[in-house]
Chain A
Amino acid sequence: MAADTHVSFEEVRRIARLARLELSPQESASMARDLGEILAYIQRLDAIDTSHVQAVTHGVDPEPMRRVDVVHPSPGTEQGLQNAPDRLGDGFGVPKIIE
């Protein structure tokens, strides 16, 4: 684990871009401070030896589920588009993708 938990503005900008967020200067400052504080707290996990521990993804493992291979009706187009911010025919309208 990284020893330095200081989070720079540059790091905040990089992560924000990955997370598809745009932060105001004030938000960036608060974010750098809060993330630094949280990561410093999280360092305490260093104290436990996990070299022989198998990671788990769930507390109670979900049972393997099988179902009969039968086709069920899907929600229709109208239901799918009911909350669309922008509709284009039978699809979602989006801003131009290819410049």
Chain B
Amino acid sequence: MSEQTLANATVEILGEKFSRGEVSSLEATEACLAREGSTHHFGAYLHVCAERARKDAQLSDARRAAGNAIGPLDGVPVAVKDLLLDQGLPTTCGSKILKNFVATYDATVVSRLKAAGAVLLGKLNLDEFAMGSSNEHSAYGKACNPWDPERVPGGSSGGSAVAVAAGSAFATLGTDTGGSIRQPAAMTGVVGIKPTYGRVSRFGAVAYASSLDQVGPMGKTVRDVAWMLQAIAGHDPHDATSSSRDVPDFTQLLERGVQGLKIGVPKEYFVDGIDPEIQAAIKVALALLEKNGATVREISLPHTEHGIAAYYLIATAEASSNLARYDGVRYGVRAGGAQGLMDMYLKTRSEGFGFEVKKRIMLGTYVLSAGYYDAYYLKAQKARALIKRDFDEALRDVDVIVAPVTPTPAFKHGENLSDPMAMYLADIFTVCLNLAGLPGLSLPCGFTGSGLPIGMQIIGKPFDEATILQVARAYERETPWHTRRAVS
């Protein structure tokens, strides 16, 4: 198998080749590194640790040769978003303020991937501190959509999506605060899942909005993503918000089909302004699920239209508090030439943060400030309760909800930069899940006439990722979309 073909394989195929002795982990690692080199202009990676990866790959090959392979991820080259700590490697969060920061310990998700035998290739591009929907707000350059480099890959986990779509990693981790896994997955034609809040540890994931942030995997297929989720899910004593619930064996439950399952389709997600090709693709997908035995019915999530407003109040309020830690004292870049401590804070933060981050800190500070707290922040927390209630009621009658991920396919670089609301509205179908804490997955369900991927979102009950993955797999095995590659 040539390096080029190998880089386009799935984790499943790679695992088969490992066990037949046809490919080594070192060869798979070299294939990803070579693909990173030939697609470097896509801007997926901020840091590649080739030497460590080669050593880890050789260790994996030695384990396998000795009959001690750990599991489906052993020897598989993967990469993580550059806000997840990987000891000894830089963690910039796409920000100048952490330009020189080196992680002194592993995020729990990173240590679990290492324990599963995965080969970590490096750190992936993102919007600064995960604040953005296009990966254009990275201090280290934008990332490009492999299907059309003039277009954005989505964000904020843009690099994580691009690496999978371009074949420079077999699977990746991103984080999702308002859609940052699902939206780029949809725009680049890969599979991505935001697990239930609490399903995956946030220890060592640099915080943006702590009540919304969740780490999750991206990959070429549903099964690949299920394996990644299996490796990272479960209680972590280092994260008090991580759940102690048992984690089911996701891949065991994958092939159950959709016979007898009830699917809800929220009417509020099919309104004017959505790209007609996206609407049409979702409807065709629903018909296919119905043909395979699912029941499809319309449901209502009446407070959907308030999701963006509530989200930007809550997320920015939490961000203004979380990002107060970047003060130039304990880590990160400290600005020079300051006169006294206050001046040092002001200069460090003003030089270190980009405009979008400053804007969100400002908005969060504003809505939490005296006289505005009740009117804005408390109002948003109440709207959040209503959005959550909508989902609770709908999910009493259906097993999963199916909806679009994005109102448009990938847009061009610069297209939404001058209009903050246009950019924020790109998250309209994804933010409500984060507010409600629910799991959601995006998988490819077609392409536009101009060849851009379309994503379908499957939303489930709290801690029921297994049913989401099951529905996604039932769709995937009947359709060809997941076999298409952006780079040949």
Chain A, residues 29-64, CB within 8 Å of chain B (1/0): the string is 011001101100110110010100111111110110
* Interface residue from A45, A59, A63 paired with B388 (Cβ < 8 Å): A59
Contacts of B243 in A (CB 8 A): 60, 62-63
Interface majority SS (helix, strand, loop, mixed), chain A? loop
Contact assessment for B384 and A59 in the assembled complex, using a CB-CB cutoff below 8 Å: yes
- Complexed CA–CA distance, A76 and B210 (Å): 26
Contact pattern, A 6-38, Cβ under 8 Å of B = 1, otherwise 0: 000001100110111111000100110011011
- Chain A residue, CB-CB nearest to B384: A56
**Interface pair B309/A83, CB less than 8 Å apart:** no
Residue of chain A at shortest CB distance from B323: A19
A78: min CB distance to chain B, Å: 9
A19 contacts across to B, CB distance below 8 A = 320, 349, 358, 361-362, 365
Name the residue of chain A whose CB is nearest to the CB of B333: A85
Q: Chain A: which residue is nearest B425 at the CB level?
A: A41
With A and B bound together, what is the CA distance between A81 and B154 in angstroms? 36
Q: In which size bucket is the chain A interface?
A: 35 or more
7 contacting pairs across A/B (C-beta < 8 A):
A15-B365, A21-B358, A34-B359, A60-B462, A65-B240, A82-B104, A97-B340
In the complex the two chains form, is A31's CB within 8 Å of B358's CB? yes
In the assembled complex, the Cα of A7 lies from the Cα of B331 at a distance in Å of: 33
Closest beta carbon of chain B to A22's beta carbon, Å: 4
Q: Does B296 contact A (CB under 8 A)?
A: no
B94 within 8 A of A: no
Label chain B's interface by main secondary structure. Answer: helix
Contact between B101 and A83 (Cβ–Cβ < 8 Å)?
A: yes
Residues in A neighbouring B438, C-beta threshold 8 A: 59-60
Does B341 lie within 8 Å of A23, measured CB to CB? no
Within 8 Å by CB of B350, from A23, A45, A63, A67, lies A23
A residues with a Cβ closer than 8 A to B are 1-2, 11-12, 15-16, 18-23, 27, 30-31, 34-35, 37-38, 41-42, 44-45, 48, 50, 53-60, 62-63, 65, 67, 75, 79-80, 82-86, 92, 94-97, 99
Q: Among the listed A16, A35, A50, A97, which residue makes an inter-chain contact with B383, where contact means beta carbons less than 8 Å apart? A: A50
Residues 333-347 of B, flagged 1 when their CB comes within 8 A of A and 0 if not, give 110001111111111
Question: In the complex the two chains form, what is the Cα distance from A16 to B355 in whole Å?
Answer: 12
Contact with A along B303-321 (1 / 0, CB 8 A): 1011011101100000010
Contacts of A94 in B (CB 8 A): 329, 341, 344
Separation of A96 and B100 alpha carbons in the complex (Å): 24
Contacts of A54 in B (CB 8 A): 382, 385
A41 touching B309, Cβ below 8 Å: yes
Does B237 sit at the interface, judged by CB under 8 A? Answer: yes
Whole-angstrom CA separation of A30 from B359 in the bound complex:
9
1/0 per position for B223-247, CB-CB distance to A under 8 A? 0000000000000010011011000
Q: How long is the Cα–Cα vector from A42 to B420 in the complex, in angstroms?
A: 13
Q: Closest approach, in angstroms, between the C-beta of B390 and any C-beta of chain A?
A: 12
A57 CB to closest chain B CB, in angstroms? Answer: 6
Q: Which one, B342, B346, B421, contacts A41 given CB within 8 A?
A: B421
* Minimum C-beta distance from A42 to chain B (A): 5
Residues A59 and B358 in contact, CB atoms below 8 Å apart: no
Residue in B101, B346, B421 whose CB lies within 8 Å of A37? B421
Residues from chain A with Cβ under 8 Å of B320 in the complex: 19
| A11 nearest CB across to chain B (Å) | 8
Contact A96 B341 (CB under 8 A): yes
Tell me if A21 and B421 are in contact (CB < 8 A).
Answer: no
Known: A35-B359, A92-B330. A56 touches B240 (CB 8 A): no
CB pair B381 A83 closer than 8 Å: no
Q: Does B378 contact A (CB under 8 A)?
A: yes
B376 within 8 A of A: yes
Which of A18, A53, A86 is within 8 Å of B365, CB to CB? A18
Cα of A35 to Cα of B376 in the assembled complex, Å = 13
The 10 lowest CB-CB distance pairs between A and B, nearest first, are A59-B437, A60-B437, A55-B381, A83-B331, A85-B334, A50-B382, A59-B436, A62-B241, A19-B365, A22-B350
Q: How far, in angstroms, from A71 to B240 measured CA to CA in the complex? A: 17
Instruction: Determine if A2 and B372 form an interchain contact, defined as CB atoms under 8 angstroms apart.
Output: yes
Closest to A65 in B: B240
Partner of A35, one of B240, B350, B366: B366
Contacting residues, chain B, for A85 (C-beta < 8 A): 328-329, 331-334
Given A42-B376, A59-B436: A15 in contact with B362 (beta carbons within 8 A): yes
A42-B309 contact, Cβ under 8 Å, with A59-B435, A96-B341:
yes
Q: Tell me whether A20 and B369 are in contact in the complex, defined as CB-CB below 8 angstroms, given that A12-B362, A42-B312, A82-B102 are known contacts.
A: no
- Nearest-neighbor residue (CB-CB) of A20 within chain B: B345
Q: B386 touches which one: A44, A50, A75, A83 (CB < 8 A)?
A: A50
Closest B-chain residue to A34, C-beta based?
B420
Contact B198 A62 (CB under 8 A): yes
Q: Is the CB of A38 within 8 A of B420?
A: yes
B375 within 8 A of A: yes
B69 contacts A by Cβ under 8 Å:
no
Q: A1-B375, A57-B381, A95-B344 are in contact. List 10 more A-B contacts (CB 8 A).
A: A20-B327, A31-B358, A35-B362, A44-B305, A53-B386, A56-B381, A56-B384, A82-B104, A84-B331, A97-B341
